[in-house]
Amino acid sequence: MIQRFIPAFVAILTLSSCYTPERDCKSFKDGTFTFTTEINGESKTTRFVRSGNMEVDYFEGKADTSEIRWLNDCEYIIKKLNPKNRAEEASLHMKILTTTDSSYTFEYAIVGSEKKSKGTAIKID
């Protein structure tokens, strides 16, 4: 009886190990996006416009421009052009993990840091 389950188990294991999340990163290189996160227990939304190697973030009535260096279609390094303090001087490594037709889930960390965070950006234009 167990001999009947072994081929089925092997087939299921093989099929499940081949699953790769959808990643159409090229669709998210340019556009207008929103990202919502929690800061000090409050939900905050930022809007950002990305075009080519530039990104402009709009947060609480202020705009901030950053330069983007694409490593591949799904990963890039972002660096603020006019940092206002030492913390803003650090570059961020961004990696798109999965995509849908209108959003992407990403992982980000300060370059050189082991601590990573995740978020979801929604394309609005």
Under CATH, which architecture does the 22-123 domain have? Beta Barrel (2.40)
Over its length of 125 residues, how does the chain's per-residue pLDDT go in tens digits?
555 656 555 555 455 555 566 788 999 999 999 999 888 889 999 999 999 999 999 999 999 999 999 999 999 999 999 998 988 899 999 999 999 999 999 999 999 888 999 999 999 98
Q: Is the pTM of this model over 0.85?
A: no
CA distances from 125 to 12, 38, 61, 78, 119 (A): 40, 24, 20, 21, 19
CA 119/CA 125 separation, integer angstroms: 19
Instruction: Tell me what pLDDT residue 93 has.
Output: 96
